[in-house]
Amino acid sequence: MTSMLRQQVNRLPTPVRAALLRLLADDLTSDQLHDQPPMDDKTLQDALVSLGEQPEVRPRVVVTGLGALTPLGHSAPASWEAMVAGRSGVGRVTQFDASAYPCQIAAEIKDFDPIAAGVPAKDARRMARCSQITLAAGAEALRDANIQWDDEQAARVGVCMGTGLGGFDIAENLIRQLITHGPGRMKPHMVTAALPNMPAFHLSQTFNCKGPLATVVTACAAGTQAIGEAMEMIRRGAADVMLAGGVEALIGHIFFSGFTAMRAISLRNDEPERASRPFDIQRDGFVIGEGVGIMVLERLEHALERGARIYAEVLGQSASADAYHVAAPQPEGAGAARAMAAALADAGLSPRDVDYINAHGTSTPIGDPTETRAIKQVFGEHAYDLAISSTKSMIGHTFGAAGAIEFMACVYSVVNNLIHPTINLERPDPLCDLDYVPNVARLRPVRVAMSNSFGLGGQNACLVVGKYAA
Could you list the active site residues? 220, 360, 397
Residue 244's nearest CA partner among 267, 228, 261 is 228
In 10 A of CB 456, how many CB atoms? Answer: 18
- CB 417 within 8 Å of CB 446: yes
Phi, psi of 65, rounded to the nearest 5 degrees: -155, 145
The strand pairing partners of 463, in sequence order, are 317, 451
* Torsion on CA atoms 283, 255, 106, 291, rounded to nearest 10: 110
- CB 425 within 8 Å of CB 278: yes
Strand ranges, E, within 23-107: 61-69, 91-92, 105-106
Q: What is the DSSP string of 156-215?
A: GEEEEEE-SSSSHHHHHHHHHHHHHH-GGG--HHHHHHTSTTHHHHHHHHHHT--S-EEE
Cα–Cα dist 335/376, whole Å: 13
Cα–Cα dist 413/444, whole Å: 9
Is the alpha carbon torsion for 425, 78, 272, 260 positive or negative? negative
Mapping DSSP to helix (H, G, I), strand (E, B) and coil, where does residue 86 land? coil
The strand pairing partners of 455, in sequence order, are 459
Residue 156's nearest CA partner among 214, 207, 210, 235 is 210
Q: Distance of CA 212 to CAs 26, 132, 160, 233, 376, Å?
A: 38, 21, 8, 8, 37
In 10 A of CB 380, how many CB atoms? Answer: 11
Is the alpha carbon torsion for 272, 277, 282, 288 positive or negative? positive
The strand pairing partners of 356, in sequence order, are 387, 449
- CB 296 within 8 Å of CB 243: yes
Cα–Cα dist 369/281, whole Å: 10
